[in-house]
Amino acid sequence: MMIATAFAAFVGLIQWTTAEATEVRVFSANGMREVMEDLGPKFEHATTHRPTFSFGTLGVIVQRIQNGEAADVIILPRQGIDRLINDGKANAGTVTVLARAGIGVIVRQGAPKPDISSPEALRQALLAAKSISYLDPAAGGTSGAHFVKVLDRLGIAAEMKPKTILHPNARAAGDLVANGEAELGINLIQELMPLPGIDLVGPLPDVLQNTLVFAAVVGTGAKDATAAKALIDFLCTPQAAAVIKAKGMEPN
């Protein structure tokens, strides 16, 4: 029902926004990059509004907006959206949940896939690995900070430290694993799926998982709030939901 309602609203917006085409500035978390790069041209074709994208970790995007940069649409995990609303940088009445995603583990393409189906299995797989790579918590992303907690919970933080290679983003993780520099890589599943030279082992066990809820919001500095809302409505259409699912995320 929500998707149908959003689609109807989007169709209504198209009828007149095409005559008032404008640039829509989008600041987005890396976790939604594959989705937005697919849907951006489709939105422009449907409305003639032209989205321009700037991608980064949650921390980087929040910091840029807090430092005064303006965005029409902001797409982040919900905790980042809430911080911007509290700082008066985003319009609370426009928050729209788009997708959910989890953290996964990769190996080099063709390599044996370890059992990570339970906390104990994951613990043994990590201890057996010669090297691992996860997102540098200092980069401002969520998966790295969460995985540090996973290692602490499994009681192996000290053992893993000397064989850990921190990466700045999922693409770097894919390169490290594909080149054999890291035996296991950890990041958001949807960011890992399209990378060459790697195989997805699977998600973290449910009790250790951190499901991220990605949402969109209109920035208080938006030049054209109507065009911004048109993009958010488009991201709730069945067409967008199909792309979100194909990219390894669960549409709202």
For the stretch 41-78, pLDDT in tens is 999 999 989 999 999 999 999 999 999 999 999 999 99
User: Where residue 21 falls among pLDDT bands split at 50, 70, 90?
Assistant: confident
pTM for the structure as a whole: 0.81
pLDDT of res. 23: 96
pLDDT of res. 16: 39
Res 141 pLDDT > 90? no
Where along the chain do the CATH 3.40.190.10 domains lie?
2-100+211-251, 105-208
| Alpha carbon 177 to its chain's center | 20
If you count them, how many residues does the chain have?
252
Total Cβ atoms within 10 A of residue 136: 18
Which tens digits make up the pLDDT trace of 28-38?
999 999 999 99
| Residues 139, 169 contacting (CB under 8 angstroms) | yes
pLDDT of res. 46: 94
- Phi, psi dihedral angles at 20 (to 5 degrees): -125, 50
Q: Give me 137's structure tokens.
A: 């918590």
Res 241 pLDDT > 90? yes
Res 156 pLDDT > 80? yes
- Residue 115 is classified by DSSP as P
Give the separation between CA 92 and CA 22, rounded to whole angstroms. Answer: 23
User: Where residue 5 falls among pLDDT bands split at 50, 70, 90?
Assistant: low
Q: What percent of the chain has pLDDT over 70?
A: 92
Res 86 pLDDT > 60? yes
Mean pLDDT of the chain: 92
pLDDT of res. 140: 81
3-state helix, strand, coil in the chain (%, to 5): 50, 25, 25
Q: Which residue has the higher pLDDT, 11 or 97?
A: 97
CATH code reported for the domain at 105-208:
3.40.190.10
Which tens digits make up the pLDDT trace of 172-204?
999 999 999 999 999 999 999 999 999 999 999
Largest CA distance in the chain: 61
pLDDT of res. 137: 93
Strands laid side by side in the 212-218 sheet:
50-56, 23-29, 73-77, 212-218, 96-101, 250-251
Q: Which residue has the higher pLDDT, 252 or 217?
A: 217
CATH code reported for the domain at 2-100+211-251:
3.40.190.10
| Residues 177, 133 contacting (CB under 8 angstroms) | yes
Give the separation between CA 76 and CA 61, rounded to whole angstroms. Answer: 8
User: Where residue 139 falls among pLDDT bands split at 50, 70, 90?
Assistant: confident
pLDDT of res. 17: 44
Q: Give me 75's structure tokens.
A: 């797409």
